[in-house]
Amino acid sequence: AQSVAQPEDQVNVAEGNPLTVKCTYSVSGNPYLFWYVQYPNRGLQFLLKYITGDNLVKGSYGFEAEFNKSQTSFHLKKPSALVSDSALYFCAVRPFNTDKLIFGTGTRLQVFP
């Protein structure tokens, strides 16, 4: 079955420290991978995507993610966290033969001042 796992319900980090939000996936074929962020009572905002090419992709607000095919992972990272980064983060995969996004269960990022 095709799936996405976000093993951490919540990640806590101090402002200024680096952050990582983990994501692993299980799909057949070459996947397209995405990260979205959801602020309270808001819609999902696109952060970044991996389609092909360089394994390190850069996105909005200083976020980046590294695609690791052997570990089937697509972890989200940021070198220096901001309090305003506090939100719910979703990893999603789009199997090559469909348009639908399969989402992980989300990880709540809490950045403390």
Partner 1 sequence: DTAVSQTPKYLVTQMGNDKSIKCEQNLGHDTMYWYKQDSKKFLKIMFSYNNKELIINETVPNRFSPKSPDKAHLNLHINSLELGDSAVYFCASSTTRGGRETQYFGPGTRLLVL
Provide, rounded to whole angstroms, the least separation between the CB of residue 101 and partner 1: 6
**Interface map 38-77 toward partner 1 (x if CB under 8 A):** x---xxxxx--x-x--------------------------
Complex with partner 1: residue 6 or 24, whichever CB lies closer: 6
Cβ pair 24, 104 in contact under 8 A: no
Complex with partner 1: residue 82 or 88, whichever CB lies closer: 88
Scanning 12-20, 67-75, 79-87, 93-101 for contacts with partner 1 by CB under 8 A, the matching segment is 93-101
Q: Does residue 105 touch partner 1 according to CB under 8 A?
A: yes
| H or E element that contains 87 | strand 87-94
Is the dihedral angle over the CA atoms 12, 15, 18, 22 positive or is it negative? positive
Query: How many residues are recorded in the chain?
Result: 113
Residues in contact with 41: Cβ distance below 8 Å, sequence separation at least 6, in sequence order: none
